[in-house]
Amino acid sequence: MRHFKKLKTYISITLLLITISTTTASLNAKEDINKSQDNSYHELSLSLSEYSVLNSAMVSGLNKYGGAIEFHLKMKKETNAIYWIISIQKKEHLKMIKKWIAERSVEIIASVSDFSQLDQTSQIAFNAIKSLTAKIDQALNSPKK
């Protein structure tokens, strides 16, 4: 009888542990599903010069480091101008792009011989870098659903 009581207690504890681990696994699976179903994304609306800087930075970054960046590209006309709408779902990708833009900016700065006499192309590039960086910061801080 005493042996039966110990066995009953052992079985009860084992079943309780199995129930707890199954419940925990189920909750973790639900969390993973909810994370994977996150439909938020980061959107950038870029002018031609901003898109050119972004493209140059991404090509440079991919050539140096490899890998891949996933994004959706859409072009649209608004008030007599064409805009490139970039949608990026993974925040990490947008952060990586921002780092690549910083690297590309350093390369552009290094190519300038006289800052007191910047040509129009260099001025456009620096203004595009400044506005693109601000747009990326804004997109990182306010994802869309």
pLDDT tens sequence across 4-40: 455 455 555 544 445 454 444 444 444 444 455 567 8
What is the residue type of 76? Answer: K
Give the total number of structural domains in the chain. 2
pLDDT over 90 percentage in the chain:
34
Distances 10 to 21, 23, 24 between C-alpha atoms, Å: 16, 20, 21
What number is the average pLDDT over the span 41-62?
A: 92
Same domain, 62 and 12: no
Q: What is the pLDDT of residue 70?
A: 87
Same domain, 46 and 33: no
pLDDT over 70 (residue 48): yes
Mean pLDDT for the chain overall: 78
Same domain, 88 and 130: yes
Same domain, 10 and 23: yes
The pTM assigned to this predicted structure is 0.68
Tokens of 74: 């859409």
- Domain span at residue 57 reads 42-141
Same domain, 28 and 62: no
Same domain, 59 and 96: yes
Q: What is the pLDDT of residue 11?
A: 53
